[in-house]
Structure 1
Amino acid sequence: MRCAAVLLALGIIASVAGAGTVVVDDRILADEDNGRDWAGYGRTFSEQRHSPLRQIDTQNIRRLGLAWSLELETPGNVATAPLEVDGVIYFGVGLSVIHAVDARTGKLLWRYDPETAKAAGAKLRLAWGIRGIAFWNGKVYSGTQDGRLIAVDANSGALVWSVMTVDKNDRRYITGAPRVFDGKVIIGHGGADFGPVRGYVTAYDAESGRQLWRFHTVPGNPADGFESPAMEMAAKTWTGQWWKFGGGGTVWNAMSYDPELKRVYLGTGNGAPWNHKLRSPGGGDNLFLCSIVALDAETGAYLWHYQTNPGESWDFNSTMDMVLATLSIDGRPRRVLLHAPKNGFFYVIDRDNGKLISAEKIVKATWAERIDLASGRPVEAAGVRYENGEALIWPGPFGAHNWQPMAYNPAAGLVYIPVRDMPGYYNDKGIDPATYSNGPGSRNTNGINISSSDIPIDAGHSFLLAWDPLRQREAWRVPTPGLWNGGVLTTAGNLVFQGHAGGKLVAYDARDGRELWSYSLGVGTIAPPISYAVDGRQYISILAGWTGGTVLLGSLSAQHGWVGRAYPRRLLTFVLDGRAQLPASPPPAPPLPVDDPDFVIDAAKARDGAALYRACALCHGMGAVAGGYIPDLRASTVPLSKEAFERVVRGGALLERGMPVFGELSDEDLEALRHYLRERARASHPDAAAPDP
């Protein structure tokens, strides 16, 4: 009994339980004090990403060592927040390939592949895979890029049910984590960057997959009637024929369930298109874009909203974490929601009524002077809506804080946020509102002129920020490599863990930001770590792999040297006094462009190829400079051969590895792409002649 009491004090157990006895339900997901399992995306409903475990602390962190590692064969995305339930780690990698691994040994127990590449069609072009999963009553839930929500048996890996949540031929897809509560599982989708998409969230019965309710986040065509009074209200904030453009507002990442108030909070995204002047030419706030929306969890009925960016024009999503906490404000406890969206402000919002309590800048943010606390609205700076055709503002569309989750430590009273400092250039010169379309065939689905040029390594930087939400001020910050670093974990041992683009997992003192420990993962990492306990020992686990949104950023991401498929994708688990050895991995190195000196580049074809390449940049990188796992086409031999290039791009030879099929491209299009890639390879080849002075 004395041993059990000690473990209870350390936050490792809540009671003595044997294997297979944990039933993940509302009680487990609402329990902030039991750190035995990590059963939800943010561990508990609060999404705090805080573990009450304190066996590993600031005094013994230097004893932390590798317990085991598992090399992953599945190609593609490695950005998932893992789950751990009853000694088993669950995660998805690649195109929603779900794995179950023994947390004690690292042995793979089962693997389920939903064969997304075969089902996704053109949707395979729109994203990189999965960021999170959910667990409820013996089942693992995941979205897929083609739009399915699947439930898999946690013991066997067998499919229990599958439902299609979107239209098979629309531009919607799923990369975000489902959330579960009260026998329900909810899921949103992405797609507002790629065409006329209208956002919604759907709740399903967790046991059967039967649809229970659906909430649209923006209104549709008034002539078709409104699904709810909320949509009728929202329509009054739109002008023109917005429904032809979809509207956007997708819930592609964060959702939070409030067990105290029986509510679901949705974080909504940008407009479709981004350009407010095109989708809503007469102005208007365009509800519920870039908002937090509170719904009744049982019925999906609208309760309240808070909009961070009325009339959004910059891709300033509010789909980032919504952390639930209780803060003492003016001498009384208040239930609050903590939120750091893309726009560079940190918000404290009253969960009971949606009223803004406070908001302050956490990074350079030039688009607004401040947030007016009386109205809750931003006081925008002059010219930021590119009224004269262009604007340079901070932050840009990658955001001050993106999807990599932050963490909140209640004891320290601090929020730890992976933030970045990078501007955005917005230009809509030459775009005619009378003829603009973001429909099928459009090469400008966002309504602004987006360059596909390479992004230089000095275009932005990042840091880990500790923020005091009560006093709305910085506590400390530490610089982090490059721009794109991992999600955060904090523990009762006064520790903060984060994976870095440079290839390390780092532990900081939660109170002052001192680096206390680091470990080389063998590859850059953006996935968030988790902590849990098995057999009385505290563990830290993280998925390591350099992919996800990193691949888009060209030289800004490629600077870390993790480009290409040679670098590992692995699951690592740490414990005090761990002695396992990590398999060697190739050192980081830049890709070496290849050239065919006999290939004569046609400048006109290369220009045409540059325009076509915009559809490739999402994966192969801006300016044909790959930033991550996806091959760098300047260094690939495939474009050297007309026949090989056709087999891959139009014939689907690498479909199983995640390369989409572009069947609509003509022979002339393929040749133009080859000329563009040869031009880019030759310009960046180490033997390229220097330009004339």
Structure 2
Amino acid sequence: MLKMRHLYLIACLFSSAGWGSATVVDNNLLASDPEGANWAGYGRTFDEQRYSPLDQINADNVKNLSLASYLDLADMHSVTTVPLAVDGIVYFAAGYSVIHAVDGKTGKLLWRYDPELWKTHPDMLRRAWGSRGLAFWKGHIYVGTMDGRLLAVDAGTGELVWSATTTEEGDSRYITGAPRVFNDKVIIGHGGAEYGAVRGYVTAYDAMTGKQAWRFYITPGNPADGFENEAMAMAAKTWTGEWWKFGGGGTVWNAMTYDPEYNRIYLGTGNGAPWNRKIRSPGGGDNLFLCSVLALDADTGEYVWHYQTNPGETWDYNSSMDMVLATMELEGKQRKVLMHAPKNGFFYVLDREDGQLISAEKFAKVTWAEKIDLSTGRPVESPNARYEDGPVLIWPGDTGAHSWHPMAFNPQTGLAYIPAREVFGYYSDEGVDIENWAYEPGFQFANGLSTKVRSEEVPTDLATSALLAWNPVTQQEAWRIPTPGAFGGGIMTSAGNLVMQADPEGKLNAYRADNGELLWSYDLGVGSLSPPITYLVGDTQYVSILAGWAGSVQAFGALTAKEGWVGRQQPRRLMTFALNGKAELPKSQPQQPLSPIVDAGFKIDAQKAARGQAVYAAKNCIICHGVGAVAGGYAPDLRASPIPLSVAGFTAVVREGALLQRGMPSFSELRDDELEAMRHYIRRRAHETAAASVD
């Protein structure tokens, strides 16, 4: 191991990134990094702006940008993640947190570390989301895993340094988000608020040893057990009933931002558990600290301030989207601000010193609230927004006007760039036993709303997307470019007056940052939502992106299946570009229409099919195979799969785990009658699809 470390250091001394020792990634580098040679943090620097000062590639010459290298990742189910680049080496965690180190110039794989989730906790494959990113600190790579581990891996050798279990055995928590690093600490949250009685928290560990430094809970626990701190006692006053039996939620599954000027960590907190407030807090209440921007002291984890975007959350309008830091002139004064565009469709500007709301305006179609009252900071909600008088269609839906895909901010143009979405949601708790509601045993999606919401096929025109340039000072749209499909990829911007974003059609696009003019486009060969990064190797600026169609979009069925990316037929790659690059891609598999299997000899039982639809929804099969059994782009489309035609084959795969190593989890708890019911449901959907295509 020591020999490998020495070889790594020698390689850094003579690397194409330049002479000298390996770059030390610490507070000093992540606070500014004005040279822009590295992309060492999730948002490049602590401010999460996703802005690079590099301008070798710019609006005038980006037309000459072309492929320099690529690396195929044939065994990765999801590559929708944020890479890092340090000393010319690109690091990323694809699939189930499999870490890769790749030469940024040549595309050569240097090492690979696999936490082997399918061996250690195969039941966690039911989550299926994969990893959204990692962190780098003083020669270590940090990543969270679906089974709740936080891992530290040597950046030079790929060897495991330490592992910490951040969750409890058998609970519903899991990790998909990227850790953040600061002050020799690494912090991680978790997801899982839809799958059990989960009480959200974040935990900070010593970055070198993995020893826990502090933990902060987002929602209060059982008052009979006492409260961990004054903040929890304060929060408990905003809850009613026996909320702790439902967990409460508030998971920090994505966004965290460190502020070195105030030595604070800001948390973007999640939705309630369950979503429906009538269940978890029947007497009402704001339910702190759900759906909030929460500021903590970075050294101690003590509460500093909060701003709640959705008091009494009941729609899954979590605030887990990026929180971007900047200093800007407002009303003639320089203000240190935090910008936040969460699911609910409002763009917020907060004062970082005390959390005071400065402004908030709609950046997408919003009908759940009329406005944000600036005197109180609270939304002015629309009638029946809480579906208290029956089912309602409101904008945005639970997928949000902005999801986790990162926005960016360019200090030169003064504009924020958001992968925005127009989408409505259907909210109803008709048929739900509010008073006696409880989580089902096992890993099953449960939000306290009508199950019909998640079991029917969604329309292909449910949502549209756009690249939105937003002026945070005037709170007005500067320009908007419609993008294909329901989702837009994460964004990067640079001093070259560029904004770059990939899209579901498979294009990587470069726009002028000041006016949105399309300057360059490259066919990646597959739809992609990962954000690009840019960095230097020697004197050459490179742009890298992970291209591949997966990363939660597959759950939306027809909404994403319409893009035509089927199963494992299309590539998953790390692709790197430079001015006048010389590499060429092999030809990709073309998009193919679905061919459902119609078995004339299979007699569909309507009652069994209805029961199978309920089992399909309850077991959360939609995560991989899509709403309405319409696969959205990675797992096989069951309507066209021969496996459900065979009782023995279907049982072997679904219950016995015959394809576990390929990522298909086992559902050992399913009975024969439930498996049979699912087969009838799948056959019904195949016949319905075939009949519709004839019509």
TM category (shorter chain) comes to over 0.9
Q: Which amino acid aligns with 1:648?
A: V
Shift of 1:94: 0.5
The amino acid of 1:667's aligned partner reads D
Report the AA paired with residue 587 of structure 1: P
Aligned position for 2:600? 597
Asked if residue 131 in structure 1 is aligned to residue 136 in structure 2, the reply is no
Q: What is the CA deviation profile of residues 262-300 of structure 1, one whole-angstrom value per residue up to 9, with x for unaligned ones?
A: 000000000000001111000100000000000000000
Q: Residue by residue, what CA displacement relative to the aligned partner does 1:395-430 show, whole Å, maximum 9, x if unpaired?
A: 000000000000000000000000100100100012
1:335 aligned onto 2:340:
no
Give the aligned partner of residue 523 of structure 1. 526
Structure 1 residues 329 and 140, CA gap change in structure 2 (3 angstroms): same
Find the counterpart in structure 1 of residue 173 from structure 2: 172
Query: Given the two structures, how large is their TM-score scaled by the length of structure 1?
Result: 0.96
Q: Secondary structure at the match of 2:661?
A: helix
Out of 649, 658, 681, the residue aligned to residue 663 of structure 2 is 658
Q: Partners in 1 of 2:32 and 2:454 — Cα distance?
A: 48
Q: Which amino acid aligns with 1:559?
A: K
CA shift at 1:65, angstroms? 0.5
Counterpart Cα distance in 1 of 2:693 and 2:301: 60
Residue 209 of structure 1, CA deviation: 0.4
Aligned to 2:441: 440
Cα separation, 2, equivalents of 1:18 and 1:32: 18
CA contact (8 A) 1:292 1:307 kept: yes
**1:408·1:414 contact (CA, 8 Å) conserved in 2?**
yes
Residue identity opposite 2:552 in structure 1: G
1: CA distance, partners of 2:675 / 2:56: 58
Q: Which residue of 1 aligns with 2:413?
A: 412
**Range that drifts further, 69-78 or 299-308:** 69-78
Q: Which amino acid in structure 1 is aligned with residue 380 of structure 2?
A: V
Indicate the SS of the match to 2:552.
Answer: helix
**1:360 equivalent in structure 2:** 361
- Shift of residue 647 of structure 1? 1.0
Select the residue among 548, 560, 571 that pairs with 1:568.
571
Q: Would you say the 8 A contact 1:396–1:425 is kept in 2?
A: yes
Residue 453 (1) aligns with residue 456 (2): yes
Would the aligned equivalents of 2:122 and 2:660 in 1 still touch at CA under 8 Å?
no
Partner of 1:495: 498
Unaligned runs of 5+ in 2: 1-15
Shift of 1:451: 3.2
Query: In 2, distance between residues paired with 1:124 and 1:549?
Result: 13
1:107 aligns with 2:108: yes
Q: Does 1:641 align with 2:641?
A: no
Q: 1:19 to 1:534 in 2, by over 3 A?
A: farther
Range that drifts further, 342-351 or 191-200: 191-200
8 Å CA contact 2:371, 2:379 repeated in 1: yes
Q: Distance in 2 between matches of 1:529 and 1:472?
A: 26
Is the alpha carbon distance of 1:429 and 1:557 closer, same or farther for their aligned partners in structure 2, counting shifts above 3 Å?
same
Q: Which residue of 1 aligns with 2:263?
A: 262
Q: In the alignment, does 2:237 pair up with 1:236?
A: yes
Number of aligned positions between the proteins = 676
Q: CA deviation at 1:457?
A: 1.2
Q: Which amino acid aligns with 1:95?
A: Y
| Two-structure CA RMSD over aligned residues (Å) | 1.4
Measured after TM superposition, the shift of residue 527 of structure 1 is 0.6
Q: Is the 8 A contact 2:94 2:130 kept in 1?
A: yes
How big is the shift at 1:687?
A: 8.7
Q: Deviations over 1:126-154 (max 9, x none)?
A: 24110000000111000000110001111
Paired AA for residue 664 in structure 1: E
Quickly say closer, same or farther: Cα 1:688–1:391, change in 2 above 3 A. closer
Separation (CA, whole Å) in 1 of partners of 2:472 and 2:657: 50
Partner of 1:144: 145
The amino acid that maps onto 2:448 is: G
**2: CA distance between counterparts of 1:121 and 1:350?**
44
Aligned partner of 1:550 among 530, 546, 553 = 553
Q: What is the deviation of 1:488?
A: 0.1
1:439 positional shift: 4.6
Question: How is 1:139-288 mapped onto 2 (pairs within 5 angstroms)?
Answer: 139-288=140-289
CA contact (8 A) 2:17 2:88 kept: no
Question: In structure 2, what is the equivalent of residue 11 of structure 1?
Answer: none
**Aligned mates of 1:137, 1:195 — CA distance in 2:** 37
> How big is the shift at 1:683?
1.3
Displacement of 1:453: 1.1
The 2-side partners of 1:417 and 1:32 are apart by 24
| Amino acid aligned to 1:650 | R
Q: Output aligned runs, 1:293-308, within 5 Å.
A: 293-308=294-309
Q: CA deviation at 1:487?
A: 0.1
1:32 Cα deviation after fit: 4.5
Distance in 1 between residues matched to 2:283 and 2:437, nearest whole Å: 16
Deviation (angstroms), 1:444: 6.2
**Matched residue of 2:235: which SS?**
helix
SS in 2 for 1:675: helix
Partner of 1:476: 479
- Cα shift readout 1:296-317 (whole Å, capped 9, x = no counterpart): 0000000000000000010001
Query: How far does residue 465 in structure 1 lie from its aligned partner after superposition?
Result: 0.2
1:617 aligns with 2:618: no
User: Matched residues in 1 for 2:444 and 2:294: separation?
Assistant: 31
Say whether 1:429 aligns with 2:434: no
Structure 2 CA distance for partners of 1:305 and 1:688, relative to 1, 3 Å: closer
- Residues 438, 446 of structure 1: 8 Å contact kept: no
Q: Does 1:505 align with 2:508?
A: yes
Q: State the distance in 2 between where 1:525 and 1:263 align.
A: 33
- How far residue 337 of structure 1 moved from its aligned partner, in angstroms, is 0.3
Question: Contact 2:117–2:124 (CA<8 Å) still a contact in 1?
Answer: no
Separation in structure 2 between the aligned mates of residue 123 and residue 443 of structure 1, nearest angstrom: 12
The amino acid across from 1:172 in the alignment is R
Residues 1:535 and 2:559 aligned together:
no
**C-alpha distance in 2, partners of 1:470/1:579?**
42
Supply the distance in 2 between the matched residues of 1:585 and 1:628 (Cα, whole angstroms).
15
User: Do the aligned partners of 1:306 and 1:355 also contact (CA within 8 Å) in 2?
Assistant: yes
Change in 2 beyond 3 A, CA 1:583/1:688: closer
Contact kept, 8 Å, 2:17 with 2:537, in 1: the verdict is no
SS of corresponding position for 2:638: coil
Report if aligned partners of 1:126, 1:194 keep a CA contact under 8 Å in 2. no
Determine the structure 1 residue equivalent to 2:376.
Answer: 375
- Matched position secondary structure for 2:488: coil
Once residues 147 and 24 of structure 1 are traced to their aligned partners in structure 2, the CA distance between those partners, rounded to angstroms, is 25
Q: Distance in 1 between matches of 2:250 and 2:479?
A: 33
Question: Which digits, 9 at most, give the CA deviation of each residue in 1:487-509, with x for residues without a partner?
Answer: 00000000000010000100001
Structure 2 equivalent of residue 28 of structure 1: 29
1:212-240 CA distances to partner (integer Å, 9 max, x unpaired)? Answer: 00000000000011011100000000000
Cα 1:420–1:297, aligned 2, differ >3 Å: closer, same or farther? same
What SS does the aligned partner of 1:382 have? coil
Alignment partner, residue 470 of structure 2: 467
Instruction: Kindly provide the amino acid, as one letter, of the partner of residue 94 in structure 1.
Output: G
Describe the SS at the equivalent of 1:685: helix
Query: What SS class does the counterpart of residue 644 from structure 1 fall into?
Result: helix
Q: Retained in 1: the 8 A contact 2:317–2:342? A: yes
Distance 1:187 1:444, change over 3 A: closer
What SS does the corresponding residue of 2:163 show, helix, strand or coil? Answer: strand
Structure 1 distance, partners of 2:254, 2:240, is: 27
- Could you tell me how far 1:356 is from its partner in structure 2? 0.2
Q: Please state how far the C-alpha of 1:118 moved relative to its aligned partner.
A: 2.1
Q: Distance in 2 between matches of 1:245 and 1:521?
A: 44
SS at match of 2:640: coil
Contact 1:20 1:86 in 2 (8 A): no
Choose 625-634 or 401-410, whichever is displaced more: 625-634
Structure 1 contact 251–267 (Cα < 8 Å) conserved: yes
For structure 1, the 5+ residue unaligned runs are 1-14
Question: Counterpart amino acid of 1:496?
Answer: V
